[in-house]
Amino acid sequence: MTVLVQLVQPDRDPNVAPSATELLALARNAAPDARQRLLLGVIALCDAAPPSGELSPVLGEIFLTLARQAEREVRKALAERLADADWAPSALINVLALDEFEIARPILLSSPVLRDDDLLQVLIKASLEHQIAVARRPNISGRVADAVLDRGDPIVVTALATNRTAEISAEGMRRMVDLSRRIAALRSPLSRHPGLTTAMAEEMYQWVGEALRQAISTRFEVDETKLTAAVYDAVQGVMRPARPGELPDAEGSERDEMERRLAAKLHAAKQLKPGVLVRAAREKRLGLVIHGLATLGDFNVAQIRKALAMPSPEAFYYACAAVGIDRAAFPTLLADVRKLNRALPGDRGDSVWQRGAISPASATRAFRALIEAEAPQNRLAV
């Protein structure tokens, strides 16, 4: 028996099928090293003469038993050898697919044996790296793509967006476009995705950066002016001037809640910028000015309202400076706000915006100090 074992050289080419005599000798040897060499030898034999029809259940069980006893490096070599084998035992492929990622990777990306149910189990049971590999797997079905979207992990969904061969339905594309509002990494691959429609691109235009806006307008040959207008034309026609006869800044809770939602929506889309607040005041949207300042400056609404009720515009100026409103634009903004707010804030004190530029951080500190120092009895009602 010892002489037969010596016939199997450790440095044998793994792609060369061993002889039946060598395999028999290894099968009789209980040593771990012999078991591993037997496993690779059987794989090489199957590669040389692939089994016809369904692999014998007995042979499949032998594969599985040997693989479970194998060392990590052997399992890794086994996964690489079986990644493209259509004859490989399903049970063994599924075990390898759930093994540590370096072992599972070639199986997840290439094995023709894996079915949708197998991939869904990987999404449920395995690590984030395994899930990313599933999302990148060529030609995954719509069922698997939907499962990735249902789980909603930003990294895995982004991997799916880069997979041009995945079967993604129109509804799946719609879901990814919606997710791109909060997942910035999705925007670039989606802008180039073949499944992106003109309507979806126009919607995405509202929250992508300048480079992607240009790419979208070029790819879909749409009017960039029209798309830019969409940024300020949210679902309910917000940012439009008040209609004739409509109170420009009704104080009802419904109107205030609408302005709060709009500020939050623009902020989430990274479109709540200083210029939007200046324009909002010009278009008689005081509520949007208030909620926008609070959102951009990380203030609370009560603090902004308090600044607007003061006898001096100093606190309001500091709030505006804290969010990046240019001091040159402040006098016009102040005039527009006073028209909407019963001439408040008042005109006491110096024109602090004429003293020179102030950094956002310094303006924030000055604003908070003024708000906290203002005695309740000195506050005017809005």
- Taking the C-alpha atoms of residue 175 and residue 198, their distance in angstroms, rounded to an integer, is 15
What are the C-alpha distances in Å from 200 to residues 172, 234, 236?
A: 12, 14, 18
What are the C-alpha distances in Å from 218 to residues 145, 211, 289?
A: 28, 11, 34
Residue 373 has a pLDDT of 78
Residue 157 has a pLDDT of 95
Task: For the chain, give every domain's residue range.
Answer: 258-378
DSSP summary character for residue 181? T
> What are 57's two structure tokens?
């259940």
Beta carbons of 180 and 187 less than 8 angstroms apart? yes
Residue 250 has a pLDDT of 38
What are the C-alpha distances in Å from 269 to residues 222, 229, 299?
A: 21, 14, 19
pLDDT tens series, the chain, 382 aa: 433 333 334 444 555 555 545 555 555 555 666 666 666 666 666 665 565 545 556 566 666 766 776 678 778 888 888 898 888 888 889 999 999 999 999 999 999 999 999 999 999 999 999 999 999 999 999 999 999 999 889 999 999 999 999 999 999 999 999 899 888 899 999 999 999 998 888 888 878 877 888 888 888 876 655 555 555 454 334 444 444 333 334 345 677 888 888 888 888 888 899 988 998 898 888 999 999 999 999 999 999 999 999 999 999 999 999 999 998 889 999 999 999 998 899 988 888 898 888 999 999 999 999 998 764 444 443 3
> What are 251's two structure tokens?
């104080």
pTM of the model: 0.53
Residue 36 has a pLDDT of 67
Residue 21 has a pLDDT of 55
Residue 254 has a pLDDT of 73
Whose structure tokens read 């956002």?
Answer: 360
Helix (H, G, I), strand (E, B) or coil at 116: helix
Q: Is 228 exposed, middle or buried (0-12, 13-18, 19+ CB in 10 A)?
A: middle
